[in-house]
Structure 1
Amino acid sequence: MAKRRARRALLRRVDMPTAAQRYAAGKALRAKVARTSHAAFEPSARRDPIGMLIESNKTRLPELVPIRYGRMATSPFAFYRGAAAVMAYDLRSTPVTGIKSQICGDAHLSNFGLFQTPELNVIFDVNDFDETLRGPWEWDLKRLAASCFIAARDNGLRRRQSREVAKAAAQHYRESMLELAKAGYLQVWYWRLDLRKALDIVPRSYAAAARHAQHATLHRVNHHGMPGFVVRGGGSYRIANEVPLIAHIKDREVERRLAQDVIRYRTTLQEDRQALLARYHLVDFAIKVVGVGSVGTRCYIALLVGRDKNDTLLLQIKEAQASVLERYLGKSTYENHGQRVVHGQRLMQAASDLFLGWAHGPSHDYYVRQLRDLKFSAAVQTMNRPDLTEYAALCARTLARSHARSGDASMIAGYLGAGESFDGAIATFAELYAEQNEQDYRALLEAIKAKRIKANQSL
C-alpha cells in the first residue's frame, strides 16, 4: 500500500507557472531593468584590448598566432570576429534581466550559414559554438547587433543606415521571441529554416550564391565527397600539404595520441553512429588553420576510408579551450570543454552533425564533427544595405529560436514586449560598441606597426 501511494505521488501533476504567468513575470522585470538601459556602454578605464588578445594567445600554437593577427588586421569586422574575449570583458558590466539560456558566446553575422543535416537536408543555423555557455541571452543579441553595425560601416553604409541594420536584428529577434512564446515546446524544438525557406527570405545575392555553392558541392560529393585539399595519389586519397594552412603532423607521438583520442571519441556517439564509424579506418592526419578567432587553436583533420578507397569520411578534430565567458559567468558544469561545446551545440542547433562528439586527452580537450563542404556562409563584406538588413533579420530569427530551445521564451517575450523601445536601445548599444571596436582595431594596427605583436597578413 505504501509503495502504491508513493507511485501515485510521483504521478501527481506538479503545478508550474503558466505561460501567461511567466510572460507577466518577464514584463515585471522592466521595472528593475528598463529596456532602454540596454543602450548603455561604458568602457572600463583599465581596458587593454591588445593585452587581452596577447593573453588569449598563450594557449595557442605560437607559430600560428601571427596568422590570427594578420587576419584580424584586414578590417574592423575581421577584428571583431577575433575579439570575442574582448567583448566578453565589455559585456560583463552591461544590464541583464537574469533570464538565462544556452548562449553561443560568439553570435556575429559570419557565424551563421547553411549546412547539411544527418538527413541530408540543408538548413540555416548558427555554425560554431566554441564559446557556448549558459548565460544572459542579451549578450548574444548585443554581439549580433554590434556585428551588424560594424559590417554595415565596413561596407560603406552611413551611420543612419548602419543603425537601421542593427535595429532590424533587434526587432526580428523580439518579434520571433513573441511568436516562439506562443508555440509548444516541441514546435520550438523542431522549428528550422530549411534551404527552400531560407532562400525565400535571404537577399537575392546570397540566395544565388548559396544555390551555386550547393550545386558545385553536390557535384564534388557525387565525385568523391571530398574538398579540394584531399587529392588522389597512388590509387588512394590523401590530404595535400598547403603549408602553413594545412600541414601533416611530423611528431609521431602527437599523431599516436590523436589516434587514441579518436578511439575514445567514438564512445561519445550514439550506439548506431558508433557502429557506422567503426567501419571506417584512419588513413591520414593533418593540422589545419581555420577561421579568424580560432586560428592558433589545435585543429586537425582526419581522413578515413570505409568500404573502398572511394568511400571516404573527413573529420575535424578541433581543440576546445575554456569559453571566454567563463571568467564572468563561472566555470562550465561539464567535465571537459569538448563536452561543453557538443552539449551546447545540441541544445542550440535545430539539427547537429551525425558525427558530433568529443574527446578528452591528457592535455587538451577536443570536439569532433564531420568536415563537410556542403556548407555555405554569406559574404557579409559584399552586401548592400537591403541585403544586409534582410540577412541580419534572418540571423536574429535563428538566434531567437536557439535561445528559446533552452531558455524561457515566455519570460523573454514578456520583457521585450510589442513596443520598439528595446530595438532602439540595442541599436544605440551597437553604434557605441562599433565605435569602440574601431578604436580597438586601430590599436591592433598600431601594435603591429610598433612590433608589439607580429602579424602575417599574406595568409
Structure 2
Amino acid sequence: MVLTSRRTATASRADRIARGKAARSAAPRSSHAGFTRERGRPAPLDLLAQQDATRVPELLPIRYGRMSVSPFTYYRGAALPMASDLSGTPVSGLRVQACGDAHLMNFGVFASPERKLVFDINDFDETLPGPWEWDVKRLAASLEIAGRHNGFTPRQCRGVVIGTVEQYRTAMRGFTDRTALDVWYAHADVEQVKALYADRLRGNRRRRMLEKNMASAVAHDNLGALRRFTSKAGGRVHIEPDPPIVLPLEALERDYSEVGEVRERLEEIVQDYRATLEPERRVLLDRYRLVDLALKVVGVGSVGTRCWIILMLGNDDRDPLFLQAKEASASVLEQFAGVSHYDNAGQRVVVGQRLMQTVSDIFLGWIHVTGFDDRPRDFYLRQLRDWKGSANVESMDPRDLRTYGMLCAWTLARAHARTGDGIAIGAYLGSGDTFDRAIAEFTRDYADQNEKDYAALSEAIRTGAVMAELGK
C-alpha cells in the first residue's frame, strides 16, 4: 500500500523537507521540461492493440471511433501510450497513490453519503502507487490539448497550464502546514467551490451556467436512470435495448433456458459482491432485489471492457438502484511502476479510490467471477448514477479552462498529500515557478506528439488497418 510509511510518519519535519530538497539533485525541477519520445518505445497503436486482446471484439470499432473524433478524444483513450512515455521521464522518487489517468475529464461532481455535491477525481481504473509527477503531467497535458481543441492561442494554452501547475504546487505546499487529519478530511463541496472561485466567474451567464450544471448533476440519479434506461411491459420493469450501446441479457442470449441459468448465477455474484461492503451497507443492499442486467458501452478508453448495469428494485417500481459492474484489469502503470499488491484488480481500484477520495460511493465494492464466457474476471461495482456530472470543456474560454484546471489541480494535490509525503513533495516543488514553467514546456511538446499519434490512428483507420465506427 502507498499510505505514508511509518518511517516517513515518524521522521521529523526537517528531515522530510531535506528529503524533498535532496530529490532535486536526482531530478532537477527544470529537467521536467520538454518531451521527445525515446527510440525503441513501442508505437502507440501497438500498445492499444495489446489492450484489445482482452476486450470485447465487437466493441473495438466503437472505441477507435470515439478516439478518432479529435486529438483530444484520442488523448482520453491513450492512457497506456502516455504511461509508456512517462516512464522515460525524470522522477523525484517520491511516490503517492497515483490516479494513473488524471486527465481533466476524469474529474467531476457526485453525491457524498451526506447528500452534498462534492468535486473530486471520479475515475480510478488505472490507480496504482507511482510517481506523483505522472499524474501532474497527464492533467497538464490534457489542458494544453483541450485548449488547442477550443482554438486557444499558444500563449493562452500556456497560461492555462501555468495556472494549473502553480495551483498544484501552492496547494501541496499549503497542505504541509495542516495536520494529517485536516488533509485527510479536506474536500471541495460545491458551495466551497463557488465561494472559492466566485471572483473568477465573470458575469451572470457563467454563474447561471454553473448553477445549471449542478442542477443537471442532481438530476443524474437512480430515478433519472430508471427513466432513461428502462421500460415496462407485462407488468415488469426491464432495461430497454439500445444497440450497440445497451444490450440486455435477452439480447445477448438466444437460449432462454440459459438466460435463466445466468440470472441464478448473477444472484450468486451479487452475494459475493455484498461481502465486500461494510455491514451497515449490506443491510441497505438487502432491501433491493435483482431485476435485470445489461451490457453497456462506457467512456472512451474503457470501450471494449465488459461493463454491466444491474437494475435492482426496492419497495416498488419507483424505488430503483442501478449498479455498474465494470471489468478491472492490470493498471496501465503496472508495466512501468510495479505490479499491484492486490491479486484482484477490482480491489486495486476500490482501495485506490478510497485512498484518493475524501468521500466515496457507499456501494463501492469488488468481485472475482467466472464470466459468462467461462473466463475468470475481476470487476468493481458502484452506483451507475448518483448525482454525477462533468464539465462542458468545449464551451470554456481560456479564463474558464484555467479556473477549472486550478480546481482539478487542487483536488489532485489533496489526493497526493493524503497518500504520499506531502511535506517532501512540497519541499521539492519549492516556492518559485521553475517546475511550473518546465511542465508548460513538457505539455507543449507532448501535445505536438499527441497530434502525430492521432494522425497515425486516422491513417490506420483510412487504410483499413484499424476498424472504427462512432456508435452513439
Report the TM-score, using the length of structure 2 for normalisation: 0.91
CA 1:286–1:105 in 2, change beyond 3 Å: closer, same or farther? Answer: same
What secondary structure sits across from 1:455 in the alignment? coil
Alignment partner of 2:308 out of 280, 297, 300: 300
Distance 2:465 2:408 in 1: 36
1:37 aligns with 2:31: yes
1:111 aligns with 2:127: no
Paired residues for 1:156-167 under 5 Å? 156-167=151-162
**Structure 2 counterpart of 1:289, which letter?**
V
Distance 1:407 1:458 in 2: 41
1:348 aligns with 2:356: yes
- Counterpart residue number, 2:442: 429
Q: Which moved more, 1:165-174 or 1:203-212?
A: 203-212
Paired residues for 1:245-256 under 5 Å? 245-249=245-249, 250-251=252-253, 252=259, 255-256=263-264
Distance 1:220 1:180 in 2: 33
For the Cα contact (< 8 Å) 1:220–1:226, is it kept in 2? Answer: no
Superposed displacement of residue 183, structure 1: 0.7
- Counterpart residue number, 1:330: 338
For the Cα contact (< 8 Å) 2:8–2:421, is it kept in 1? Answer: no
1:358 aligns with 2:384: no
For the Cα contact (< 8 Å) 2:108–2:122, is it kept in 1? Answer: yes
- Counterpart residue number, 1:26: 20
- Counterpart residue number, 1:408: 421
Write out per-residue CA displacement over residues 300-349 of structure 1, whole angstroms, 9 at most, x where no aligned residue.
00000112222110000000011011011111001200000000000001
What secondary structure sits across from 1:402 in the alignment? helix
CA 1:185–1:118 in 2, change beyond 3 Å: closer, same or farther? Answer: same
**Structure 2 counterpart of 1:55, which letter?**
Q
Superposed displacement of residue 52, structure 1: 1.2
CA 1:458–1:301 in 2, change beyond 3 Å: closer, same or farther? Answer: closer
Report the TM-score, using the length of structure 1 for normalisation: 0.93
For the Cα contact (< 8 Å) 1:40–1:94, is it kept in 2? Answer: no
CA 1:121–1:15 in 2, change beyond 3 Å: closer, same or farther? Answer: closer
CA 1:166–1:305 in 2, change beyond 3 Å: closer, same or farther? Answer: same
Paired residues for 1:159-238 under 5 Å? 159-200=154-195, 201=197, 204=201, 208-216=208-216, 218=218, 226=226, 228-238=228-238
CA 1:306–1:54 in 2, change beyond 3 Å: closer, same or farther? Answer: same
For the Cα contact (< 8 Å) 1:210–1:376, is it kept in 2? Answer: no
- Counterpart residue number, 1:376: 389
Distance 1:449 1:222 in 2: 41
Paired residues for 1:42-81 under 5 Å? 42-46=36-40, 47-81=42-76
For the Cα contact (< 8 Å) 1:224–1:310, is it kept in 2? Answer: no
Alignment coverage as a number of residue pairs: 447
CA 1:90–1:220 in 2, change beyond 3 Å: closer, same or farther? Answer: closer
Superposed displacement of residue 373, structure 1: 4.8
Distance 1:423 1:316 in 2: 38
Write out per-residue CA displacement over residues 162-199 of structure 1, whole angstroms, 9 at most, x where no aligned residue.
11111111110000000011111110011010011223
CA 1:26–1:219 in 2, change beyond 3 Å: closer, same or farther? Answer: closer
Superposed displacement of residue 255, structure 1: 4.8
**CA RMSD after TM alignment:** 2.0
Distance 1:268 1:74 in 2: 39
CA 1:347–1:387 in 2, change beyond 3 Å: closer, same or farther? Answer: same
1:145 aligns with 2:140: yes
Q: Which consecutive residues of structure 2, in runs of 5 or more, have no partner in the other structure?
A: 1-6, 254-258, 371-375
- Counterpart residue number, 2:4: none
- Counterpart residue number, 2:88: 93
Superposed displacement of residue 278, structure 1: 1.3
Distance 1:37 1:378 in 2: 32
What secondary structure sits across from 1:130 in the alignment? coil
What secondary structure sits across from 1:304 in the alignment? strand
